[in-house]
């Protein structure tokens, strides 16, 4: 073949692959088998390997991901990306329509309703039809440049079809398909890695990967629904805009409704609720928008959200099923928790087989019996729980559950503990060497909120304990590479990542270590309070219950629990093993009372998703400067730091007149306080 022939073949291959990508990812109607597609793709890669000069910016080969990135640059949005206000009832929908009609009294309004995709907001910038940038929402003003990762998403065209404006910013959501997410988790489990908690978190983490090759392997897709900066003409209505997106090869909402009245809006919201489980992505609501772009401009926006659009959030989805059995789960503190084993039922996008019954008292209060038909829902759309029994459907065959008098894991005696502070009596296994407690303590220690050890999830911990390699947290620091790689389905790279995470945990803040030890009643907030009061772990260990009870935020129950834990010779020996391993025992939060930090006396509340900081990281910045990070807004709150999708805390702050700042302002305050 001549060079001209190679070029012609390359052009045909690239165009054919783009056509198949559109059919599969955008239109949902694949026209060839996966094997046939792979053969075309392989031929394209081989051709470009022999003739690298043929590689173009919009070649399908550019989706495989390039070299790892050093980090993400912050980019200011040409036009701010605002969030939507939320509404939760038909009455609030009617109120919203009336507010907009009041702004446009002489106009006849019509509306569109689209699914609210539970993903990560993105802005895609095309210049002369070519994708040049992908920017996260961030704080709405500034986002992260994730262009290289966005390019790996096969459903997004690298080049738009047809005549398009010279500059066109398209906005939407990046998400992980339900089917793809399930396969990804199965693959991670098979490789000994921790399963992702939910698709949205997995999507966020994938977009923030510094290695685009990893992003390319994840099942990301995108749905677009809005505009940013534009230089050129665009359709005058939302309905026409959605059709225009599809004509350019871009995926838009597969269902949308055009409504002219409040009743039609509410009907459309209800209809969407009935069909949304059929979508291959998570949805948590419906988005209502004025159809006319010109009328939107007349409505304008508040500082946080447009006045012409709002999101309707659906209530947690419920389902009815049969409770086939009740089993007992033993936690890290020895607490015995009843778990409902269910007839599998599809709920909020997943098949649910188990649900929590919380504790014995809750189970008795609801009069839950084996064989009952029960109503379950996902609390926060994540954790399934039994909410009630349909007693009218009982036929007499149901059986009461007898709570065990011995631990089902180790057969040790159990006792009732009424000192939980929750008002409930908890039944506990008293054997600290109970395998279930050992596993629970290790998982808790490795958790992101504690010592943040990557890879230390349920699958890894179960294998470590089962193999007798780790029986307490100090033994994590003795693990060797060959021991970890010998575990089932454990690749050397994953094993090394796990060991690197263990090594990195040695320098974690002292409060994380105290929280990670799993002391009864000591959460992250209490751990921070303790490290503000004591300069190091030795001083904390030597304090008696009365001395602990004198400290702010430490009550008598917590004081006694901490004192008892450190008085135990077994725990003292554990601390010495951790000291020998080289962990950080000094407190960076300690304040003797004489030290005045730049935030001393100031109370901050964090709400929503911040662009670059985790909430825990922002709280550490506040506390290191002498301030307090609180979980609730009051008149005594000095600042509310609000991120994306801030909810009731933001509304309360605005009502009380509490100053609201974004992450950029917060970081500036931290920098100025150095």
- Chain-centroid distance, C-alpha 78: 27
Q: Out of 3-17, 122-136, 410-424, 582-596, give the one with best mean pLDDT.
A: 122-136
CB distance 550 to 584 below 8 Å: no
What fold is seen in the domain 603-672? Rossmann fold (3.40.50)
* Calpha distance 349→340 (Å, rounded): 19
Superfamily (CATH) of domain 318-402+412-417:
Nucleic acid-binding proteins (2.40.50.140)
Q: Percent of the chain scored above 90 by pLDDT?
A: 47
**pLDDT confidence tier of residue 27, bands split at 50, 70 and 90:** low
Superfamily (CATH) of domain 76-313:
DNA ligase/mRNA capping enzyme (3.30.470.30)
* Calpha distance 672→484 (Å, rounded): 45
pLDDT at res. 627: 84
| Domains 3-63 and 318-402+412-417 in one fold | no
CATH class of the 435-581 domain in this structure: mainly alpha
For 505, phi then psi, to 5°, come to -70, -15
Q: What is the mean pLDDT of residues 251-275?
A: 92
In the chain, what is the greatest distance between 2 CA atoms, to the nearest angstrom?
89
Beta bridge partners of 337: 329
- Chain-centroid distance, C-alpha 306: 25
CB distance 195 to 286 below 8 Å: no
**pLDDT confidence tier of residue 618, bands split at 50, 70 and 90:** confident
> pLDDT tens digit string along 285-343?
999 999 999 999 999 887 778 999 999 988 777 889 999 999 999 988 888 989 999 99
> At which residue do the structure tokens 């089993």 appear?
327
**pLDDT confidence tier of residue 422, bands split at 50, 70 and 90:** very low
CB distance 90 to 261 below 8 Å: no
CB distance 641 to 610 below 8 Å: yes
Q: Percent of the chain scored above 70 by pLDDT?
A: 92
For 323, phi then psi, to 5°, come to -85, 105
* Calpha distance 516→19 (Å, rounded): 52
CA dist 146 to 210, 225, 542, Å?
A: 9, 19, 50
Beta strands in 291-357 (DSSP E): 309-313, 318-330, 336-347, 350-356
pLDDT at res. 193: 57
Catalytic-role residue among 22, 116, 151, 628: 116
Copy the structure tokens of residue 67.
């070299």
pLDDT-wise least confident of 243-252, 379-388, 517-526, 646-655: 379-388
| Residue 604 pLDDT > 70 | yes
Closest alpha carbon to 186 in 176, 177, 196, 201: 196
- Domain residue extents for the chain: 3-63, 76-313, 318-402+412-417, 435-581, 603-672
CATH class of the 3-63 domain in this structure: mainly alpha
Copy the structure tokens of residue 672.
């100025």
pLDDT at res. 206: 86
For 157, phi then psi, to 5°, come to -70, 135
> At which residue do the structure tokens 């895609």 appear?
124
- Assign residue 199 a region: left if phi > 0, alpha if psi is -120 to 50, beta otherwise? alpha
**pLDDT confidence tier of residue 573, bands split at 50, 70 and 90:** very high
- Chain-centroid distance, C-alpha 159: 31
User: In 222-347, which residue ranges form alpha helices assigned H by DSSP?
Assistant: 238-247, 262-275, 293-299
| Residue 114 pLDDT > 90 | yes
CB distance 284 to 356 below 8 Å: no
Collapsing DSSP to helix, strand or coil, 61 comes out as helix
pLDDT at res. 169: 96
Q: What is the mean pLDDT of the chain?
A: 86
Could you confirm whether 614 is annotated as catalytic? Answer: no
Q: What is the mean pLDDT of residues 453-469?
A: 91
């Amino acid at each position: 073949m001549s060079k001209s022939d190679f070029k012609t073949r390359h052009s045909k291959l690239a165009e054919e692959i783009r056509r198949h990508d559109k059919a599969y990812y955008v239109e949902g109607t694949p026209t060839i088998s996966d094997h046939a597609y792979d053969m075309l793709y392989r031929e394209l890669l081989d051709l470009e390997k022999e003739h690298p000069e043929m590689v173009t910016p919009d070649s399908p080969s550019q989706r495989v991901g390039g070299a790892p990135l050093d980090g993400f640059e912050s980019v200011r949005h040409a036009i701010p990306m605002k969030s939507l206000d939320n509404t939760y009832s038909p009455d609030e929908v009617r109120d919203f329509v009336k507010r907009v009609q009041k702004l446009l009294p002489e106009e006849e309004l019509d509306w569109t309703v689209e699914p609210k995709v539970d993903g990560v907001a993105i802005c895609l910038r095309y210049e002369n039809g070519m994708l040049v940038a992908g920017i996260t929402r961030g704080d709405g003003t500034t986002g992260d440049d994730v262009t290289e990762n966005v390019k790996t998403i096969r459903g997004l065209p690298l080049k738009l079809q047809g005549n398009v404006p010279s500059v066109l910013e398209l906005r939407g959501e990046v998400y992980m398909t339900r089917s793809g997410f399930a396969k990804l988790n199965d693959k991670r489990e098979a490789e000994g890695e921790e399963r992702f908690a939910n698709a949205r978190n997995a999507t966020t983490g994938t977009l923030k990967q510094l290695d685009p090759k990893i992003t390319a392997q994840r099942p990301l897709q995108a749905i677009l629904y809005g505009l940013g900066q534009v230089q050129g003409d665009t359709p005058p209505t939302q309905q026409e805009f959605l059709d225009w997106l599809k004509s350019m090869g871009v995926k838009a909402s597969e269902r949308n409704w055009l409504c002219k009245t409040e009743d039609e809006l509410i009907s459309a919201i209800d209809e969407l609720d009935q069909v949304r489980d059929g979508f291959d992505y998570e949805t948590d609501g419906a988005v209502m928008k004025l159809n006319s772009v010109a009328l939107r401009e007349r409505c304008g926006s508040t500082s946080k959200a447009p006045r012409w659009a709002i999101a309707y959030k659906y209530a947690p989805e419920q389902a009815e099923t049969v409770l086939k059995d009740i089993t007992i789960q033993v936690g890290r503190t020895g607490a015995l928790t009843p778990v409902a084993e269910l007839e599998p039922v599809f709920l909020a996008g997943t098949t649910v087989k188990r649900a929590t019954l919380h504790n014995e008292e809750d189970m008795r209060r609801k009069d839950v019996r084996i064989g009952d038909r029960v109503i379950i829902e996902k609390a926060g759309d994540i954790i399934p729980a039994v909410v009630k029994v349909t007693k009218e459907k009982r036929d007499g065959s149901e059986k009461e559950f007898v709570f065990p008098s011995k631990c089902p894991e180790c057969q040790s005696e159990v006792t009732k503990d009424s000192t939980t502070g929750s008002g409930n009596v908890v039944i506990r296994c008293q054997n600290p060497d109970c395998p279930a407690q050992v596993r629970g303590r290790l998982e808790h220690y490795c958790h992101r909120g504690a010592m943040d050890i990557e890879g230390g999830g349920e699958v890894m911990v179960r294998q470590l304990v089962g193999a007798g390699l780790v029986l307490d947290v100090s033994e994590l620091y003795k693990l060797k590479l060959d021991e970890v790689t010998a575990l089932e389905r454990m690749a050397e790279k994953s094993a090394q990542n796990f060991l690197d995470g263990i090594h990195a945990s040695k320098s974690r803040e002292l409060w994380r270590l105290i929280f990670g030890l799993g002391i009864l009643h000591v959460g992250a907030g209490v751990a921070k309070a303790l490290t503000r009061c004591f300069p190091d772990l030795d001083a904390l260990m030597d304090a008696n219950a009365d001395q602990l009870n004198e400290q702010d935020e430490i009550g008598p129950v917590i004081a006694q629990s901490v004192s008892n834990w450190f008085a135990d010779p077994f725990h003292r020996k554990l601390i010495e093993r951790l000291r020998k391993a080289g962990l950080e025992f000094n407190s960076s939060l300690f304040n003797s009372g004489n030290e005045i930090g730049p935030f001393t006396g100031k109370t901050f509340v964090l709400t929503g998703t911040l662009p670059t900081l985790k909430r825990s990281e922002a709280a550490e910045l506040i506390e290191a400067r002498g301030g307090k990070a609180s979980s609730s807004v009051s008149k005594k709150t000095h600042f509310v730091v609000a991120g994306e999708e801030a909810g009731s805390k933001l509304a309360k702050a605005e009502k009380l007149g509490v100053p609201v700042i974004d992450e950029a302002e917060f970081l500036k305050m931290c920098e100025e306080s150095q």
